Structure 1
Amino acid sequence: METVWWKLTLALLMLAVSTLAKAPRSCHMEDFIQAVKQVEDEESGSGSEPAAVLRRLRRAAGLNDAFIQHFLPDAALSPDLDADLLGYVRTAVPHGLLGETQEQGVVLTPDGTTVALQPLLLGMEARLLSRTPGRPRGLYQLTLARDLGAALRPGSADAGRFGPDGCWDSLTSPRVFTLSGPASPFTTAQANGAMDGVVLGAEASGRPAGPLRLSSLLTQYYCRGLDARGLDGAPRLISRRRREIFRGMILPPALARQVWRATDLQERLAGRPRTQGGKKKQLMVVKEGLREFVHMFMDCPPIIPRCVWGAEPYRGTPTKLSLPLSFLFIHHTSTPSQPCLTLQQCSADMRSMQRFHQDDRGWDDIGYSFVAGSDGHIYEGRGWHWQGAHTLGHNAVGFGVSFIGDYNASLPTQHAMELVRERLASCAVGGGRLVSNFTLQGHRQVVNTACPGDALYREIQGWEHFGEVQK
């Protein structure tokens, strides 16, 4: 009887393991990395090299149109994947829109941002296949330039050229990504994937000859944690740094030339005559349109939307701000008293603050306009357009930005302070949300409070735009 019981138990256990093994993968970067590892494990020798793995993934995803073939080898020569993996790749990699609101071919990364896989993979393959220093053939055309050309066509700006971001149905097992506004020709996820394709392609091709697994590179880039120093002590190559790394890799005039070349190539491949009007005139048009891209994805910091950190709805009717504003008020949270280093920790802190502000203080929402974590991100509070409850008597004239932590005796991370001092302020001015000669003040300058803490208040007195209270 005991033997029968053990056999039954073993059978049930094997069935459970088998069921778990066949559980469908989600749209999380960690699940995609596991799929990449499966491709690598199926091969040995040259078949597991990054370029070969990327080529197999491209074939499985059906990314083989004339524009791609102009730069990359015909993927039809690659061997097939098994049925389950093939089905996953065909669903997960090709980028596109489902109707007006849902975006496919994107994954959620551990740092909370959403990345399009198609430009990521194409960029890495293009760079690995072109080892000539400084001349990565097809890198920018395949990641950015073709899609940017579509976004900059006449009439494409009617509903906005760039963005929006969006929200996932689940942060633990994401499957459906819904845009937070009208679809544009070039979404935030596309921008993230394109920048990562450029950054990781350069990293992979620049490493010394030797064994390199694509899954390991992706894990190092997307899944690294942070220590107590936050991004101040983090490795250079980490997804939270994508914007700052990308800014150092290409200048806007060079990107404009790549867009023009991609548009011209598409016309030639389609058998149409070259665009009329002259290269110089067309470049001027592209450069003008690229200003919005540079502002949105190179000047502005990464901002985690409310839906990602788990915000509760606004209670009541929000008051719309009259932009641009004249002040930027600096706060610290005091409670939570410790810096947050991960998306999960920072999100929990945001939810805790929102509960306190709504339930204990009776406010309609979290009071701050934005909140800076030590994980490399700015968190959206009431945002750019809605009046906050951060600086009594001054909420209609300025944005309130708080650093998570108590900064009476210590300072936030240098990276977090730079995000606010340089990137968020520049983003606000460039987007017409703050006047160019805005005044930056600490909370204590206009309200009887110890905020933003003695150490942080001493620090911001040296920041550009700091201003004393007018008597």
Structure 2
Amino acid sequence: MNKGYWKLTLALVVVLASTYTEASFSRHMDDFIKAVKQVEDGDPEAEPVVVLRRLRRAAGLKDAFIQHYLGDANSGGPEMEAGLSNYISKVVKHKVTADAREDGVVLTSDGTTVALRPLLLGIETGFLSQSSGRVRGLYQLTLAKDLSLSLRHSSPLPQRLGPDGCWDSLTSPRVFTLSDAPTLLTHSQVNGGMDGVILGMEVAAKTRHPLKLSSLLTEYYCHQLGNNGLDTAPRLISRHRRENFRGLVTPPVLARKVMKSVELERRLKGRSKMEVKEKKQLMAVVRKGLKEFVHMYMDCPPIIPRCMWGAEPYRGTPTNLSLPLSFMYIHHTHTPSQPCLTFEQCSADMRSMQRFHQEDRGWDDIGYSFVAGSDGHIYEGRGWHWRGAHTLGHNSIGYGVSFIGDYATRLPSQHSMGLVRDQLASCAVGSGQLIANFTVHGHRQVVNTSCPGETLYNEIKGWEHFREVKKKSA
């Protein structure tokens, strides 16, 4: 056989191997971690920061802003296999396409979607600080730069942040489509940015022994909850994302980091410094925009949208609520009777309840407005705007919020109760869905039922907004 034949055969083998490697990995965090481990196995002695540089090089993250803080990504080491390199490039490089598809994001086991670029940049910054002695550029590389772009962007959209979206498959995710018109900072980017800050600070603190990047990601994203849910879970896991971020970052600090990002961008582009007046005007814009950020990502709980838990369409035409409402009615599901501890189980419970409400009871949709799992998430039922079917005679004046499980003789986890009592309620008030002096009632107070269970009912009687039902005068 001639040399040309062998060259063609070799090229075909390389292409097929590359295609196979890329096709064998989905856009799930578990598969990305496998890819990272493959990179680590190719150079077992490599430090995590070297692995991170190789990932950055494969993804083509080499703009001047990144290099200002992290330097050149050419770290040497063995050549990365072509298929693996292609996969990393596609799964890390972030972009939103014209048809609202968001690339550079992965689905995590807890049901949230994370942009990998800010996550990896934050972790690399943390590891670099172990040698330099200070965490330099952590906020700028994870959130501040993208925040500055989004908050300064002139847009007709009512929101400057978000939206969330949904995957084509939860078992083998490939395509993530945004649920609304995209802004310059999507939910996935914020999730990745928050995780980048959290993990970057963690490794920078030198409280952890040297470990592999794949191990760090596995510990953070793949922790299995025990029977007590998040009440006894480790602090450093993705389900604690918002709590951990709130503990690390304050709005004034974030505002300063956003301003520093703008100033650095100008300097890197050869532009002059901002005048005092321009700087004050920009700071006013940033502070105003950060109020929206704080409300959405620090005050509000993580809410799993309908499309992520696999909701069937609403049957008919939903009736819109007249906002703000005055009441929050607390329920338990009774059936399912057990708390759900994983995104998969909570989603299955949501689908089961929707089937029961639609098929057996003949309702248009799942009855509840929102449902609290014990996995760290609130699940969207009919949501903020559609009238529910949860509390007979009161569906137009209040939201129905249910806890998955039977709480006649026990309580939901403290964490899940906090999500409803503190965060969901605060979120509703802050966004104008509930009046500030709203009232909490148990289902049994206004309907002849044992719901939300004796033990849970006794618990909510101690909540700040709980009120007894006023008896009608004779």
Deviations along 1:396-415, whole A, 9 cap, x unmatched? 11100000001011000000
The structural deviation recorded for 1:388 is 0.4
Equivalent residue pairs, number: 453
Q: Does 1:273 align with 2:272?
A: yes
Name the amino acid aligned to 1:155: S
Structure 2 match to 1:371: 371
3-state DSSP of counterpart to 1:402: strand
Higher mean C-alpha displacement, 216-225 vs 92-101: 92-101
State the alpha-carbon separation in 2 of the partners of residues 28 and 410 from structure 1: 35
Higher mean C-alpha displacement, 264-273 vs 112-121: 264-273
Which residues of 2 match residues 119-268 of structure 1 at below 5 A? 119-131=118-130, 135-156=134-155, 158-208=157-207, 210-268=209-267
State the alpha-carbon separation in 2 of the partners of residues 405 and 52 from structure 1: 47
Higher mean C-alpha displacement, 325-334 vs 203-212: 203-212
3-state DSSP of counterpart to 2:248: coil
Q: Tell whether the 8 Å contact from 2:21 to 2:84 is kept in structure 1 after alignment.
A: no
Q: Does 1:71 align with 2:86?
A: no
Structure 2 match to 1:293: 293
Q: Tell whether the 8 Å contact from 1:29 to 1:107 is kept in structure 2 after alignment.
A: yes
Q: Tell whether the 8 Å contact from 2:53 to 2:74 is kept in structure 1 after alignment.
A: no
3-state DSSP of counterpart to 1:27: coil
Aligned CA distance change for structure 1 residues 133 and 292 (closer, same or farther; 3 Å): farther
State the alpha-carbon separation in 1 of the partners of residues 44 and 374 from structure 2: 41
Q: Does 1:430 align with 2:416?
A: no
3-state DSSP of counterpart to 1:143: helix
The structural deviation recorded for 1:76 is 3.0
State the alpha-carbon separation in 1 of the partners of residues 287 and 389 from structure 2: 39
Q: Tell whether the 8 Å contact from 1:59 to 1:78 is kept in structure 2 after alignment.
A: no
State the alpha-carbon separation in 1 of the partners of residues 436 and 417 from structure 2: 19
Aligned CA distance change for structure 1 residues 40 and 367 (closer, same or farther; 3 Å): same
Deviations along 1:368-396, whole A, 9 cap, x unmatched? 00000001100010011111000111111
Deviations along 1:48-77, whole A, 9 cap, x unmatched? x11111111001100010010110111134
Structure 2 match to 1:86: 85
Q: Tell whether the 8 Å contact from 1:159 to 1:184 is kept in structure 2 after alignment.
A: no
The structural deviation recorded for 1:117 is 0.2
State the alpha-carbon separation in 2 of the partners of residues 452 and 326 from structure 1: 19
State the alpha-carbon separation in 2 of the partners of residues 210 and 396 from structure 1: 55
Structure 1 match to 2:446: 446
The structural deviation recorded for 1:44 is 2.9
Aligned CA distance change for structure 1 residues 273 and 173 (closer, same or farther; 3 Å): same
Structure 2 match to 1:12: none
Higher mean C-alpha displacement, 152-161 vs 385-394: 152-161
Q: Tell whether the 8 Å contact from 1:221 to 1:237 is kept in structure 2 after alignment.
A: yes
Q: Tell whether the 8 Å contact from 1:100 to 1:183 is kept in structure 2 after alignment.
A: no
3-state DSSP of counterpart to 1:345: helix
Name the amino acid aligned to 1:66: A
Structure 2 match to 1:4: none
TM-score w.r.t. structure 1 length?
0.93
Q: Tell whether the 8 Å contact from 2:421 to 2:463 is kept in structure 1 after alignment.
A: yes
State the alpha-carbon separation in 2 of the partners of residues 442 and 284 from structure 1: 43
The structural deviation recorded for 1:264 is 1.1
Deviations along 1:87-140, whole A, 9 cap, x unmatched? 001100011101141100000000000000000000111121123899520100
Q: Tell whether the 8 Å contact from 1:100 to 1:182 is kept in structure 2 after alignment.
A: no
Q: Tell whether the 8 Å contact from 1:295 to 1:430 is kept in structure 2 after alignment.
A: yes
**Structure 2, gaps ≥5 residues long:** 1-17
TM-score w.r.t. structure 2 length?
0.92
State the alpha-carbon separation in 2 of the partners of residues 209 and 139 from structure 1: 18
State the alpha-carbon separation in 1 of the partners of residues 75 and 171 from structure 2: 36
Q: Does 1:98 align with 2:97?
A: yes
RMSD: 1.8
3-state DSSP of counterpart to 1:129: helix
Structure 1 match to 2:403: 403
State the alpha-carbon separation in 2 of the partners of residues 377 and 240 from structure 1: 8
